[in-house]
Structure 1
Amino acid sequence: MKKLLVSVFTLASLIGAATPVSADQPAKHTVQKGDSLYEIANDYGISSHQLMAINNKRSHTIYPGETIELPVMPNANEKDLLSRLVEAEAKGESYAGKVAVATVVLNRVESELFPDSLRGVILQEYQFTPVSNGQINKPASQESKAAVEEALDYQGYDNESLFFYNPDKAYSAYLSAKEVTTVIGDHVFLR
C-alpha cells in the first residue's frame, strides 16, 4: 500500500510539473540540474524561442537554481474574460489593435506595477472602462477570441506596452508622459 501511495504521489508530481500555469498561478519555473530550455518549453507547451524571448536570453544557456519566467497561460474562464474585455475595449478597431489590447493586459500580469493575475489586472479599479460600465459582460466576437489566442502566442515578442488609450476620447497627463510604443487605429500604446 505504501509503495502504491508513493507511486501515485510521484506520478501526480510529474503530471503537475508539466501542466500549463493558469494566469492566477505564479508563472515561473526553477531550473533543476539536467534541465534544458527546450525541455522546459516542451513541458509547458511553448516554443524554446518564445521562452528565450520572455526571459531576454540570447542563448540556450541556463543554470540550476535560475528562475525562468513563463508566459501567462489562462484557463478557459480567464480567456473568456480577456476576450470580452478586448471586445469591449477594441470594438471597431482592427484585428491588430485587438491583439495589442490583449497584449497590454498580458504585459500587466507580468509587470510589478499591476496585480499578478489576469483577473486582478482586468478587474483592477479605474483601469478599464468596460469593467465599470458593464460592457465586459457582453459576449466576445470570434475575432476578439482569435486576437487573444494570438496575443498569448506573441508573449515575449512585443514592445512591452502597459497602457493604451484613445486620445480623441480621453486625455491623461500621466499617460502623456509615457513612451509611445506604437499607434494602431485610434489607440495609442505606451510603456
Structure 2
Amino acid sequence: MTKISKKYGLSLGELIRLNPQVKNPNLIFIGQTIHTSGNSSSTVSHKTNVSANDRDLLARLVRAEAGGEPYDGKVAVAIVVLNRVDSPDFPNTVHDVIYQKGQFSPVANGQINQPADNESRRAVDEAIAYDRSRGYGSLYFYNPEISPNSWLKSRPTTKVIGHHVFKK
C-alpha cells in the first residue's frame, strides 16, 4: 500500500481510509482492487483489461522477443508490457506500449506480424490472469549478448531469466 500511496500522491492513512475492504494494509493481493479516490470507479489493479486484439498482439510480441526463452521468461516479457500499461511513464494500452517508437525490435523488423505460438499465448494468458509477480516490477528487458544498451545497465536488475535481463 505504501508504493501505491506514493504513486498516486496520497498519504498511507488516506489510502487506508479509502480502502476499508483491506483488513491488513501490509498484505494485499494481486488482482485486489485498491481505490485511489473517493470515486470507486478510480481503482488500481494488477489485472489489466486486455482486448482480444491486444492479447493476440502481445502474444505475437512474446513469440518474437522470447521465442527461444524459458516459459517463465515469456510470462515475464508479457508482464513488462502490462507493467508499462499500468505505469504513468508509458502509454496506457497494450497496442500503444508495443508500438511506442524504438521500444521493441520486432516492431521495427516485422517479426511482430508473425503468428503467435501456443506457448506464447499461454504465457500472455497467465500474465494477464494473475501472476504479475514474475516480473518483479520490471519495465524493461534486454539480451545483453545482442543489445549493448548502456542506459539499461544503469537500471536496477529485477530478474535474469534465460538470456534476458529484466530491469526497473
Structure having the higher Rg: 1
Structure 1 residue matching 2:106: 3-state secondary structure: helix
Q: Does 1:65 align with 2:39?
A: yes
Letter of the 2:79 counterpart: T
Contact 1:51–1:156 (Cα < 8 Å) also in 2:
no
The alignment's TM-score, normalised by the length of structure 1, stands at 0.67
2:132 aligned with 1:152: no
Q: Which position in structure 1 is the counterpart of 2:16?
A: none
CA contact (8 A) 2:79 2:132 kept: no
| 1:171 Cα deviation from its structure 2 partner | 1.0
Work out which of the residue numbers 33, 44, 50 in structure 1 matches 2:30. Answer: 50
The percentage of aligned residue pairs carrying the same residue is 45
The equivalent residue for 2:147 is 170
User: Which sections of structure 1, spanning at least 5 residues, go unmatched?
Assistant: 1-34, 39-47, 56-60
Is 1:142 the counterpart of 2:118 in the alignment? Answer: yes
> What does residue 97 of structure 1 align with?
73
Which amino acid in structure 2 is aligned with residue 161 of structure 1? S
Give the equivalent residue in structure 2 for 1:42: none
Q: 1:37, CA displacement in angstroms?
A: 5.4
- Structure 2, unpaired ranges of 5+: 1-18, 23-27
- TM-score between both structures, scaled by the size of structure 2: 0.76
* Equivalent pairs, count: 142
Residues 141 and 112 of structure 1: CA distance in aligned 2, closer, same or farther (over 3 Å): same
Amino acid at match of 1:65: N
